[in-house]
Amino acid sequence: MQLPRPVGREAASKKYDILSALMAFALARDKIVQRQVLRVMALITTRYNWQRDELSMGQGEIARLWSVDERTVKREMAKLRASGWLVLKRQGARGRVSTYGLDLARMLADTRPAWPNIGEDFITRLTPEEGRGAAPSNVVPLRAPPSPVADGTIWFAAQARLHSEEPALYGAWFHPLAEVGAEAGCLTLAAPTRFHATYVEQNLMERLRAAVRAVDPAIARVMIVS
């Protein structure tokens, strides 16, 4: 789904549509997802620049907004990156916070099952004309595996190795993982879902650990959270 930025004469209604989709999606899910989506909506409504697609906010500021500690912020932001909703545009450095973008098309695709709870008019409004009434197809279009996003972390270097070894496998299972932190010889990664985390742990952990240790031998353990 190609989604134009919500700017111009209809910007306000487009923004409300996106927030409505998030709200309906959250209300149809469990408390954990509800809290996560509420946090995303708080970031959008307080700090997100719709026109420039930029969210620049320090972890301390986010912690105050969410009423949590900074460790929770770091973990939750990593999960949002793993889900594809949050996209790192510029890595933070000394005296400068990280800048993120939002994949609004991904948000709408993920929340689509909840659209009927809002109404048929909402579905019609958010469905491109060329997609209405089209016959269903079981053909999945092929997409080139995504490349790692350079951010200067241990995980980026390991991702680059995994991508060069087997791009399709990387795109399906390793690219969605996001680094939470590396402390005391343990690299912690966030997966978008519990199933994703379990699959990687049970089937791909040796390959993952080898790639990480190849770029940083000091890492003795890799842990995946969801």
Structural domain that includes position 203: 154-225
Task: Answer yes or no: do 99 and 180 share one domain.
Answer: no
Q: Which residue has the tokens 């719709």?
A: 50
4: confidence class by pLDDT, cuts 50, 70, 90: low
Question: In the prediction, which pLDDT does 173 show?
Answer: 86
Residue 196 sits in a domain of what CATH number?
3.30.300.180
Question: In the prediction, which pLDDT does 126 show?
Answer: 83
Question: In the prediction, which pLDDT does 139 show?
Answer: 43
Task: Answer yes or no: do 15 and 101 share one domain.
Answer: yes
Domain ends where: 73, 106, 139? 106
pLDDT tens per residue across span 132-168: 444 444 444 445 556 666 667 788 889 988 888 888 7
- Measured between alpha carbons, how far is 185 from 183 in angstroms, rounded to an integer? 6
Question: In the prediction, which pLDDT does 40 show?
Answer: 95
pLDDT tens per residue across span 122-135: 888 887 654 444 44
Question: In the prediction, which pLDDT does 129 show?
Answer: 55
- Percent pLDDT > 90 in the chain is 31
Task: Answer yes or no: do 163 and 102 share one domain.
Answer: no
Taking the CA atoms of 154, 158, 160 and 161 in sequence, report the sign of the dihedral they define.
positive
Query: Which region, left, alpha or beta, applies to residue 8 given φ > 0 means left and ψ of -120 to 50 means alpha?
Result: left
Task: Answer yes or no: do 30 and 101 share one domain.
Answer: yes
Query: Would you say residue 19 has pLDDT above 90?
Result: yes
Domain count, the chain: 2
Task: Tell me whether residue 189 is in a domain.
Answer: yes
Task: Tell me whether residue 114 is in a domain.
Answer: no
pTM of the entire predicted model: 0.62
Task: Answer yes or no: do 19 and 102 share one domain.
Answer: yes
Task: Answer yes or no: do 77 and 163 share one domain.
Answer: no
Task: Tell me whether residue 181 is in a domain.
Answer: yes
Residue 50 sits in a domain of what CATH number?
1.10.10.10
Task: Tell me whether residue 133 is in a domain.
Answer: no
Task: Tell me whether residue 119 is in a domain.
Answer: no
- Asked whether 55 and 49 are in contact (CB, 8 A), the reply is yes
Top mean pLDDT of 65-69, 71-75, 191-195 is at: 65-69
Task: Tell me whether residue 4 is in a domain.
Answer: no
Higher pLDDT, 94 or 41: 41
Task: Tell me whether residue 186 is in a domain.
Answer: yes
pLDDT tens per residue across span 175-212: 888 888 888 889 999 888 888 888 888 888 888 999 99
Cα distances (Å, whole numbers) of residue 26 to 19, 81, 128, 194: 11, 18, 24, 18
What would the mean pLDDT of 17-30 be, rounded to a whole number?
92
Question: In the prediction, which pLDDT does 141 show?
Answer: 44
Task: Tell me whether residue 116 is in a domain.
Answer: no
Token pair for 122? 């909402």
Higher pLDDT, 36 or 7: 36
Mean pLDDT computed over every residue of the chain: 83
Domain ends where: 106, 138, 166? 106
